[in-house]
Amino acid sequence: MRAANSPRRENIPRQPLRMKSGLPIEPFLNEMQGEVRIPGSKSITNRALILSALTQGETKLKGCLFSEDTEIMCNALDALAIPVKRDINLGTICVQGNGGVWSQAEAELFVGNAGTTARFLTAMLCLHPSGRYQLDGTIAMRNRPMQGLLEALRKLGAKIICHSKDGHFPFTMETSELPGGIWEVDASQSSQILSALLMVAPLAKSEVKLHLKGETVSKPFVSMTLKMMQQFGAEIESEGLAETRISNTARYKSVGNCWPVEPDATAASYFLALPGVVGGEAFLPGLQREMLQGDIRFDAILKQVGYKTHFIHKGIGSTAQPDDLRGGEFDFNAISDTFLTLAAIAPLLKGETRITGIAHTRKQETDRINAMATELRRLGQRVEETDDSIHIFPNRRALHAKAIEGVHIETYDDHRVAMSFGILGSLDLRGDGSPWLTVLNPDCCSKTFPDFFEKLENLRQASVIE
């Protein structure tokens, strides 16, 4: 969308895509029209890697995500002598599983800031009858929730010594397999804790009845885990999420050649939102209404805001008239990874935007509520926070004034902060096509979407009218 009365312009010279000071976002000069292929889901890829490692035989996964988080998981499996073969060109990963048995009884493992690897791998290691493993992550990972998982594993016989703060990385664990029976877990701070225990339960010594103490967050991710477990051969009886019974007689089996990984529905949220910033239409092939990923429900949020989205057999399309979009109150507890997408474009919406149900995001890659509030204030917006919510009062005049000055957005080494504000920066607020918003440390997107900004730039160039 061009500023009022601004002329259409020919393509202007671009600065290099990577700069030490950050990446200036080149605004769109015209409405977008284009197709965006979204990479494979990180959540599915890392779950599938664990499940494949626990099967008997080789499993080939296709459409995988190749990023920092999935590479960390592959490296960990390699370190345990579980063979993993990657083919980036074909988008496939082959895992040679051995029914939850591996030869490497001792290892030093680095989980980076990958929450899925941190939780899933820790639980999997406890299947070894006599293992001794040292685990650590980044400084950010050392502050992320692990307490609920470590407490549960200690009750099941694992000896875990935390070397800095109890319930956090780094720690050393001695393992002696996992008994069956009743497993109790507190997954109130991360659904990945519950998913981690669910995935290893079929390999316990006897049947498991997993009891969830209290509630958990991001419940669709647990549903994803259960569906994938069943696809890999597990037998599950579930009474909601509070009580789940998992048989130990139905072990995982290879799903054969080329098990498909869905495109990442969370990553799709940025490009689905883009037409509301620059106008036009986006089409994302491979995204369907019925998916393993709950974050596909972001399309319902967009409809409430005023977008038009439509599913066809080949994918999902999104269109919007930017002047017609409105804020409102939205509960993002089930799809919290996408709340940043809406928060970043809230300054462009008519009326206030209040996002709730996101307390747990304060303990993810960064304190995401505070990060978004801080950067929106940098853009001249009034923002109110609670433990569980963010409330944005849009001020278009102040945003325009900040754009004239130029704004550098801190990303806190959080890929979702970077990508969300990359969408906002695509608006030609100055009216002359010059960048006004610079994303610092854009390479943090390598965690889940290494070529995000390249795809955004390709769309921008495609919108230029010769």
* Count of CB atoms situated within 10 Å of the CB of 445: 26
The structure tokens listed for 70 are: 């999935």
Q: Which one is catalytic: 69, 337, 413, 428?
A: 337
The C-alpha atoms of residue 69 and residue 140 are separated, in whole angstroms, by 14
* Count of CB atoms situated within 10 Å of the CB of 196: 29
Which residue is it, tokens 């495109």? 263
Q: Encode 203-234: b = buried (16+ Cβ within 10 Å), e = exposed.
A: bbeeebebebeeebbbbbbbbbbbebbeebbb
* Backbone dihedral angles phi then psi of residue 211, each to the nearest 5 degrees: -110, 120
Q: Are 331 and 353 in contact (CB under 8 A)?
A: no
Whether 432 sits among the annotated catalytic residues: the reply is no
Secondary-structure breakdown of the chain: helix, strand, coil percentages, each rounded to the nearest 5? 35, 25, 40
The structure tokens listed for 337 are: 């990874």
Within a 13 Å sphere around the CA of 329, how many CA atoms are in the beta-carbon half? 3
Going from the C-alpha of 369 to that of each of 48, 65, 159, the distances in angstroms are 30, 27, 35
Pairing of strands 326-331, 350-356: parallel
The residues near 37 (Cβ < 8 Å, ≥ 6 apart) are 263, 284, 285, 286, 455
Q: What is the CA radius of gyration of the chain?
A: 23
Strand partners, 159: 174
The catalytic residues are: 337
